[in-house]
C-alpha cells in the first residue's frame, strides 16, 4: 500500500490534461520505444477526439521506480461534473493543470473547489510555458489567490508548482528556459508526485471494502465494478456482498480481478488496500454501492453529486420520415438505452412518462446533447425538445431559477455587441477588465439565458471569443428572455425540394435545406427574415408551357444552406418545436405538423 499513489488530473477545458497523461505514460516506459501511439490516447471515444474534450473519466497507471501510480483523467467541462465528483473519491492527490497564457478559468475553479473540499493535496502545473506570450509567474499568483478564495487549508496552500509543456514533454521545478527543462523531461514531476502525494488512505488490516466509483462492461465476464479498495484485500474466488442504496444486500463471488497497467487491464490474483481495481462477478451494481466481505458491514459514504439544472424531453421519432435510417426506433429501445446510461453516468436523471416520452435532466444542454449524439451513432432515432431550466420554490412560495457566473474573453471591438446580447439575455455585468486588445467580462446570467449564447458569441466575434460558465446559486426568477427574434419557414407540403422553389424562398430568409432533400408538412426548412412563422412550399416546380419565358437559359444560383450541429439545433428550436435526430440527418420540425391543427391549438390556448 505504501508503494501506491492515486492521483487525478484536473483542469479547465483544453488546458492539456490528456496530452500530459500521454507524456507521463510515454516517459515512464509504459509504451515500447517502437510502439505507435495515437495523440491524446486517453480520449478513446470518437466524440472526445472530434470535440477535443474529455467526456468520460478514465483510469490508467504506470510504474516509476518501485511505485505504482494510478492516474485518473477527468473532464474539464462543468456539464460533466458528475464524472469529476466520482473520480475524486478514488484518489489522494490532484495535478491541477493551468494554462500559463490564459490562467485559471471557470472550470478550473469548479474542479479545484471539488478537490479542495475532498481534502486532496494539489500539485500545480503551469502548462504551455514554452509559448511566446506565456506569463507563468503572474499566473502562479492568480492560482494562489484562487486557493485563498476557495478556503484552502494551510497544507493545501503549501503546494509545489512546476513549469511544464505537455506537448514538448518536460516539467521543471524552476523555469530556466526550454533547453534546460528538456534535459530532465518529466522526471521532476514524477519525483514531486512521490514526495507530495500521500499513500492511499486505506487500512490493510481491516475487512475488505470497496466504493464503486465507475462501471464498465466486458464481453467476456460481464459487468465490472471499478473503485478504490478502502480496506483489506481481495482474491479471485472470494465471496463478496454488494450493499445498495436501499434494498437487500446481494451476494456474489469474484470471478475476475483486473488492475491497470498503462491503458490496458491486467488480470490479478489478488489486490490490496489502496489500489484501484475492477471486479467481475456482480450482475447488478450501481455507482456509489459498497462492496465488502460480509453483508452486515456498514456502507461507505455514497458519492453525492450536484443536482441537475437543465432538462429536456426525449421522445420516440414519429415524423413521416421515421424508420428509414435507424435500427432502434421504439420506446422500449429508448428506455433500455437511457436507463443503461444512468447506471454509469451519475450526473444524469431519467423519468419515464410511459407514453414514449422521457424527461432527461443534467448539468447542461451539452451533457444531454452528447448523449443524443452517441445514441444516433449507435443507430437510434429520436426527437429532442428545447432545453428547460429546473425551477425551485422558496419558503415563501416564490419561484427560484438557477443562475450562473459567465466569463467571456473577447476582442475590444465587439464589446458593445456583447453587452447588448447580455442585456437581452437577462445578465448583469459584475466585472470588466481590459487587457491590451481584449476585454474580460464577468456577469451573472440565468441558465436559460445561456441557451444558444456560445453560438451567438462565435458568430459575433468570428470565432475569437471564449466563454465559460459556472453554476452559482438559485435566485429569484428574472423577466422573460427572448432568445430567437426571427420566425421560421415551415413547409406546407410533403415531397422533394426543388431549386426553382428554393431560389424564391432564399429571398425570404436563410435556408436549412438544399435541393433534392425530402421534406414533410410541418418541417422547418429555414429561418424567416421576419418575426413571424411563414408557411412555404419548397417542393414547387416550374409549370411547363409552350411559351418561352423571360428567364429561360439563366442558371439558378442558390446560397449554401445553413448547417446546424446537434447542439446548435437544440439551442435554436423554440418551445413548440423538436429536433428530429436520425443516424444520417438532423431535421427541425414543429411539434404539431398540421398547420390547421397548429392554428386550432393556438386559438384554444389563447381562449
Annotated binding site for GTP, which residues? 14-19, 127-130
- Residue 258: in which H helix or E strand, if any? strand 256-261
Are 38 and 18 contacting, i.e. CB atoms less than 8 angstroms apart?
no
Q: What are phi and psi of 398, to 5 degrees?
A: -75, 155
C-alpha cell, 14: 483544453
C-alpha angle 198-160-75 in degrees, rounded to nearest 5: 75
Residue listed under C-alpha cell 415531397: 495
Binding-site residues, please? 14-19, 127-130
C-alpha cell, 79: 456539464
Are 45 and 131 contacting, i.e. CB atoms less than 8 angstroms apart?
no
Are 267 and 228 contacting, i.e. CB atoms less than 8 angstroms apart?
no
List of residues 6+ apart from 514 with CB closer than 8 A = 497, 502, 558, 560, 561
Q: What are phi and psi of 27, to 5 degrees?
A: -80, -10
- Residue 501: in which H helix or E strand, if any? helix 499-505
HEC letters along 99-157: ECCCCCCHHHHHHHHHHHHCCCEEEEEEECCCCCCCCHHHHHHHHHHHHHHCCCCHHHH
How far apart, in whole angstroms, are the C-alpha atoms of residue 575 and residue 564? Answer: 18
End-to-end Cα distance, the chain: 71
Amino acid at each position: 500500500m505504501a508503494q501506491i499513489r492515486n492521483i487525478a488530473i484536473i483542469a479547465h477545458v483544453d488546458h492539456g490534461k490528456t496530452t500530459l497523461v500521454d507524456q507521463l505514460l510515454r516517459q515512464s516506459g509504459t509504451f515500447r520505444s517502437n510502439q505507435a501511439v495515437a495523440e491524446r490516447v486517453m480520449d478513446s471515444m470518437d466524440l472526445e477526439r472530434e470535440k477535443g474534450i474529455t467526456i468520460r473519466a478514465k483510469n490508467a497507471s504506470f510504474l516509476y521506480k518501485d511505485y505504482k501510480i494510478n492516474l485518473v483523467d477527468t473532464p474539464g467541462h462543468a456539464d460533466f461534473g458528475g464524472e469529476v465528483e466520482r473520480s475524486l473519491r478514488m484518489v489522494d492527490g490532484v495535478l491541477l493543470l493551468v494554462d500559463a497564457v490564459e490562467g485559471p478559468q471557470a472550470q478550473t475553479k469548479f474542479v479545484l473547489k471539488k478537490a479542495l473540499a475532498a481534502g486532496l493535496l494539489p500539485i500545480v502545473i503551469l502548462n504551455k510555458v514554452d509559448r511566446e506570450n506565456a506569463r507563468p509567474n503572474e499566473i502562479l499568483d492568480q492560482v494562489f489567490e484562487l486557493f485563498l478564495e476557495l478556503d484552502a487549508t494551510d497544507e493545501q496552500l503549501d503546494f509545489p508548482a512546476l513549469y511544464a509543456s505537455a506537448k514538448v514533454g518536460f516539467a521543471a521545478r524552476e523555469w530556466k528556459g526550454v533547453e534546460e527543462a528538456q534535459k530532465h523531461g518529466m522526471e521532476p514531476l514524477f519525483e514531486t508526485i512521490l514526495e507530495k502525494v500521500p499513500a492511499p488512505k486505506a487500512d490493510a488490516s481491516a475487512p475488505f471494502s470497496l466504493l464503486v466509483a465507475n462501471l464498465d462492461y466486458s464481453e467476456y465476464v460481464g459487468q465490472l465494478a471499478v473503485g478504490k479498495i478502502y480496506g483489506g484485500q481481495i482474491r479471485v474466488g472470494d465471496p463478496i456482498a454488494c450493499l445498495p442504496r436501499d434494498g437487500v444486500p446481494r451476494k456474489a463471488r469474484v470471478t475476475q480481478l483486473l488492475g491497470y497497467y498503462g491503458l490496458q487491464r491486467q488480470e490479478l490474483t489478488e489486490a490490496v488496500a489502496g489500489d484501484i481495481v475492477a471486479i467481475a462477478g456482480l450482475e447488478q451494481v450501481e455507482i456509489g454501492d459498497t462492496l465488502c466481505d460480509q453483508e452486515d458491514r456498514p456502507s461507505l459514504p455514497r458519492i453525492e453529486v450536484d443536482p441537475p439544472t437543465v432538462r429536456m424531453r426525449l421522445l420516440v421519432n414519429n415524423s413521416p420520415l421515421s424508420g428509414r435510417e435507424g435500427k432502434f426506433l421504439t420506446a422500449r429501445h429508448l428506455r433500455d438505452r437511457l436507463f443503461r446510461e444512468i447506471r454509469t453516468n451519475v450526473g444524469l436523471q431519467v423519468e419515464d412518462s410511459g407514453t414514449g416520452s422521457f424527461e432527461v435532466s443534467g448539468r447542461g444542454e451539452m451533457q444531454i446533447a452528447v448523449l443524443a449524439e452517441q445514441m444516433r451513432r449507435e443507430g437510434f432515432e429520436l426527437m429532442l425538445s428545447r432545453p428547460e431550466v429546473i425551477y425551485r420554490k422558496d419558503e415563501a412560495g416564490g419561484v427560484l431559477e438557477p443562475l450562473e457566473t459567465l466569463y467571456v474573453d473577447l476582442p475590444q471591438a465587439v464589446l458593445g455587441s456583447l453587452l447588448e446580447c447580455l442585456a437581452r439575455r437577462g445578465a448583469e455585468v459584475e466585472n470588466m477588465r481590459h487587457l491590451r486588445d481584449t476585454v474580460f467580462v464577468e456577469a451573472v446570467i440565468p441558465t436559460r439565458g445561456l441557451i444558444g449564447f456560445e453560438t451567438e458569441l462565435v458568430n459575433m466575434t468570428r470565432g475569437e471569443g471564449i466563454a465559460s460558465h459556472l453554476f452559482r446559486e438559485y435566485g429569484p426568477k428574472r423577466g422573460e428572455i427572448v432568445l430567437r427574434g426571427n420566425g421560421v419557414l415551415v413547409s406546407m407540403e410533403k415531397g422533394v425540394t426543388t431549386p426553382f422553389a428554393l431560389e424564391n424562398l432564399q429571398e425570404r430568409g436563410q435556408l436549412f435545406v438544399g435541393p433534392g432533400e425530402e421534406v414533410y408538412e410541418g418541417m422547418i426548412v429555414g429561418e424567416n427574415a421576419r418575426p413571424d412563422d411563414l408557411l412555404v412550399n419548397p417542393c414547387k416546380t416550374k409549370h411547363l408551357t409552350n411559351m418561352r419565358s423571360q428567364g429561360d437559359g439563366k442558371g439558378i444560383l442558390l446560397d449554401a444552406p445553413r448547417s446546424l450541429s446537434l447542439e446548435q439545433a437544440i439551442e435554436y428550436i423554440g418551445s413548440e418545436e423538436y429536433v428530429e435526430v436520425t443516424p444520417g440527418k438532423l431535421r427541425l420540425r414543429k411539434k404539431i405538423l398540421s398547420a390547421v391543427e397548429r392554428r386550432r391549438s393556438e386559438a384554444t390556448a389563447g381562449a
